[in-house]
Structure 1
Amino acid sequence: MFLLTGGVMENDLANLALTDEEEEAFEEDAAVVDQNLNLCLVGCCLTDSIVHFPSFRNTMADLWHPLRGICISDLGDRRFLFQFFHEVDIQRVLAGTQWFFNNHLILFHRMKPGENPSLVHLLLTEFWVQVHDLPIGLVSETMAKQFGDFLGKFLEYDLSSWLGSSPSVMRF
């Protein structure tokens, strides 16, 4: 055990300063973090229950099985940061179906540089909607856009849904 007395140590601590090189290193680290956020999603489980993080992390990593791996961090309050290491992996997750954990929907937001993962709004998700038994004259992309904008925001129309066996079904 060492005992340091006031005078010398206080003067040394008072005179501590970062050199220009050390300050530049911190600026570069911030740029790397912003660049890495381009391959990050922040997500949350829609539940009031506690989410067991180790189970959640293992389940999602096993489901997605990204080519270059994934790092999943617990941000607290059922909010998680998913860091991917290749654009293909993040696109595959975003383009996939709705994702659930223990029957609870997971909402995602793709991070942009400068965003704080703890503060982004996680309020929206995308759903495919099918409308059945429509008169043939109403099965059109224009009508799908109207339905979609009425329900939320129209994103895409699946023309193949009515080219098949049932012309009275529209998927958007």
Structure 2
Amino acid sequence: MVEEDLSKLWEGLNLIEVEEQLVKVLDHDILAAAQRGINCLMAKVITERNFNKEAFRSTMPQLWRIEGGVTFTEIGESSFMLEFEKCSDKEKIIQGRPWTFDKNLIGIQDIDNSLPPSAVSFSHDPFLIQLHNIPFIGMTEDYGKQITLAIGRVIKVEVDKEGQGWGRCLRVQAEVDITKTLVRGRWIQAGVRKLWTVFKYEQLQKFCFRCSVIMHQGRVCPH
């Protein structure tokens, strides 16, 4: 990461005596920060355009339907620290991902107290993906995981107590790397039949139509 590269660069420089002096964070301060972080989240609006930050602050608590209050602290160009009065509200937001604002994905990450705000990565976000054109014999938890591993870490496959998800499609929740091209589908073979399984991402809003990457919407597309 950029921050790690900068740290290595500074370590290699010739520092004066006062710059060499190390400031050590005390254990009780680490514990205090960890305790406060229990009720905090990091949020980033994934967009290349300017957006109404005041509208973001006022709109999202209503959409989240939180029971307590929340404080927004701006920590970057489009990122915020959210501090909740109730930890249950934080969990509700985590479980309800993905969230969007003005058709832009909102990256949500838990707090890592050992990192500076600029080092927090918003590269992954969970999505529900519908797997279409799957034969009934492939609509199981095991095959759902195998197929969706092309996207990323599988969180859950929606199946019944028999381990099957027979229906119009199979729904799987997985972590999507929003810095990479969206996976559109996969081939599967059942006996002599070879079928193309189509991936449909639920609540998918803006993404780059040139390279199908969510992290940018085309203005700085390398392609």
Q: Which TM-score band applies after superposition, normalised by the shorter structure?
A: 0.7 to 0.9
Structure 2 equivalent of residue 162 of structure 1: 165
**Residues 30 and 53 (structure 1 numbering): CA distance in 2 closer, same or farther, change over 3 Å?**
farther
**Residues 137 and 33 (structure 1 numbering): CA distance in 2 closer, same or farther, change over 3 Å?**
same
Tell me the distance in 2 between the aligned counterparts of 1:94 and 1:156.
15
**Residues 96 and 28 (structure 1 numbering): CA distance in 2 closer, same or farther, change over 3 Å?**
same
Deviation, 1:31, is 4.1
Structure with higher Rg: it is: 1
Deviation, 1:107, is 0.5
Superposed, 1:85-100 pairs within 5 Å as 85-100=85-100
Deviation, 1:100, is 0.8
1:110 partnered with 2:110: yes
Give the secondary structure class of the aligned counterpart of 1:76.
coil
Structure 2 equivalent of residue 60 of structure 1: 60
Structure 2 equivalent of residue 39 of structure 1: 39
Tell me the distance in 1 between the aligned counterparts of 2:89 and 2:99.
15
Partner AA of 2:153 in structure 1: K
Structure 2 equivalent of residue 10 of structure 1: none
Which stretch of structure 1 is more off in the superposition, 64-73 or 99-108?
Answer: 64-73
Per the normalisation by structure 2, the TM-score is 0.59
Tell me the distance in 2 between the aligned counterparts of 1:157 and 1:65.
26
Unmatched runs of 5 consecutive residues or more in structure 1: 1-25
Deviation, 1:119, is 1.5
Tell me the distance in 2 between the aligned counterparts of 1:30 and 1:154.
32
Aligned length: 144
Q: CA RMSD in A?
A: 2.2
Structure 2 equivalent of residue 131 of structure 1: 131
Tell me the distance in 2 between the aligned counterparts of 1:122 and 1:128.
18
Which stretch of structure 1 is more off in the superposition, 26-35 or 123-132?
Answer: 26-35
Unmatched runs of 5 consecutive residues or more in structure 2: 1-25, 173-223
Structure 1 equivalent of residue 74 of structure 2: 74
Deviation, 1:64, is 2.0
Per the normalisation by structure 1, the TM-score is 0.74
State the percentage of identical aligned residues. Answer: 23
Q: Which has the higher helix share?
A: 1
Tell me the distance in 1 between the aligned counterparts of 2:30 and 2:51.
30
Give the secondary structure class of the aligned counterpart of 2:43.
strand
**Residues 66 and 29 (structure 1 numbering): CA distance in 2 closer, same or farther, change over 3 Å?**
farther
CA contact (8 A) 1:69 1:85 kept: yes
Partner AA of 2:71 in structure 1: C
Tell me the distance in 1 between the aligned counterparts of 2:113 and 2:84.
15
CA contact (8 A) 1:79 1:118 kept: no
Structure 2 equivalent of residue 7 of structure 1: none
Tell me the distance in 2 between the aligned counterparts of 1:113 and 1:34.
6
**Residues 117 and 140 (structure 1 numbering): CA distance in 2 closer, same or farther, change over 3 Å?**
same
